[in-house]
Amino acid sequence: MLSKRIIPCLDVAGGRVVKGHHFLSLKDQGDPVTLAARYARAGADELVFLDITATPEARRTLITMVGKVAKELFIPFTVGGGVASEADVRRLLRAGADKVSIQTAAVSTPQLVPRAAAAFGSQCVVVAIDALRHQQGWELFTHGGRVATGLDAVEWAQRVEQLGAGELLLTSIDADGSKAGYDLELTRAVADGVRIPVIASGGAGRPEDLVEVFVSGHADAALAASIFHSGRWTVREVKEHLQAAGVAVRPCP
């Protein structure tokens, strides 16, 4: 049976891991390679690296860092942030990333999604969706959650599925940094609205939050940052909670 995945997220800026609180205040957390290796040993199922300052400052994701991480890691990892072209996708994959996450460029150049899927396979094309709650539904944001698009986030999810995305990385801007739990309604609306896996992101503060995002949110994977970076909970403890709640997880080594 396919396990639900626990994915620590390392937000990186200038080659260091940071965790954005509502995407704005950045607090330094440490060396990406060291953290990545630690999480892999602790039983993380995958890792995500997001170069969170890449798009606004036109900065390219750090290929060198990706190469170093790839040497240390024997679990899959995704890299995102500033991925703007097929050449960017190729560079990241060849440096050792398993998947690339495309956000802003998927909106400005939607044909990038089918082109990347045709060249490298859908399985390595992750589309990142940042969504802000409105009175009705959720609005799609780009540029790391800074720019409103006027598009409906759930409709956008269905559109990029049609375009060939292999997975969605869905972040609730409202919940991100709150440690008050995932936006379960948003996650469920997207997860039930598409036929591709959905990685829920934003709001994990306790192991129970991850239980809920799988059980009520119908997520296929859960991304979490500060819950792990702070040392408050280990991957093993979170997985024990999930197992006790009847959620299928891969046992820790």
Partner 1 sequence: MIGVIDHGAGNLASVGHALDHLGLEWRAVRHPRQLATVDAIIFPGVGAAGAAMSRLRQTGLEQAVLAFLKSGRPYLGICLGLQLLFQASAEDDSPCLSVLEGRVVRLPTAAKLPHVGWNTVELLRPCSLLDGFDGAAFYFTHSYVVDPASPELACARTSHGAPFVSAIEQGPLFGVQFHPERSGEAGLQVLARFARQMAA
Tokens of 246: 């009847």
In three-state secondary structure terms, 18 is strand
The bridge status of strand 99-102 relative to strand 147-152 is: unpaired
- Please state, in angstroms and rounded to a whole number, the distance separating the CA atoms of residues 116 and 122: 8
- The nearest distance, CB 198 to partner 1, in angstroms, is 9
Candidates 50, 95, 131, 170; binder of partner 1 (CB under 8 A) is 95
Establish whether 11 is a catalytic residue: yes
**34, 64, 123, 162: residue in contact with partner 1 (rule CB under 8 A):** 123
Q: Which of 13, 33, 62, 70 binds partner 1 (CB under 8 A)?
A: 70
Q: Tell me if 89 sits within 8 A of 115, measured CB to CB.
A: no
Catalytic-role residue among 45, 88, 98, 130: 130
Q: Which two tokens stand for residue 199?
A: 């990685």
Q: Which is nearer to partner 1, 4 or 229 (CB)?
A: 4
219: alpha, beta or left? (left if phi > 0; alpha if psi -120 to 50): beta
Strand bridging mode 125-133 / 138-142: antiparallel
Residue 154 interacting with partner 1 (CB under 8 A):
no
Q: Which two tokens stand for residue 122?
A: 């859908």
Residue from 220, 224, 239, 241 touching partner 1 (CB under 8 A): that is 220
Closest to partner 1 by CB, 94 vs 134, is 94
Question: What sign does the CA torsion over 61, 235, 23, 158 have?
Answer: positive
* Residue 76 binds to partner 1 (criterion: CB under 8 A): yes
What is the set of active-site residues?
Answer: 11, 130
Q: Which residues here bind partner 1, judged by CB under 8 A?
A: 1-5, 40, 45, 67, 70-71, 74-76, 90, 93-96, 98-99, 117-124, 166-167, 195-197, 220-221, 250-251, 253
